[in-house]
Amino acid sequence: MWVFIFYGAVIADSVALGVYMTNTLSTCEYVADHSSCELGVCEDFKQAEKYLRILDNLLKIKGIAIWSISRSKTRPHSFIMGWEEFLELGS
């Protein structure tokens, strides 16, 4: 799935970069801030949670899509969306 997301970002004329699952909060914040990240794509809520904890410091981010769920039934935050919801934004 990561390969599809990576090349989808490239085709959409965006910058794609990977973040290791073992990255600390400060590393996630540094990468997201210095890349001017507008969208985070995470495998699951555990990874998305890292970004929710530093969201106040990420002024450019507009949302977080989680690819392991199709729709976000319970939204812990308005920035979270399921994969199908994210894909519908492009149609």
CA 26/CA 83 separation, integer angstroms: 26
User: In the prediction, which pLDDT does 69 show?
Assistant: 83
Structure confidence by residue, pLDDT tens digits, 5-42: 888 888 988 888 888 889 999 999 999 999 988 999 99
User: In the prediction, which pLDDT does 74 show?
Assistant: 64
CA 78/CA 6 separation, integer angstroms: 24
CA 79/CA 72 separation, integer angstroms: 11
Domain boundaries, the chain: 2-89
CA 55/CA 77 separation, integer angstroms: 10
Which pLDDT band, with edges at 50, 70 and 90, does 57 fall under? very high
User: In the prediction, which pLDDT does 70 show?
Assistant: 75
User: In the prediction, which pLDDT does 27 show?
Assistant: 93
Bridge partners of 66, per DSSP, are 42, 82
User: In the prediction, which pLDDT does 20 show?
Assistant: 85
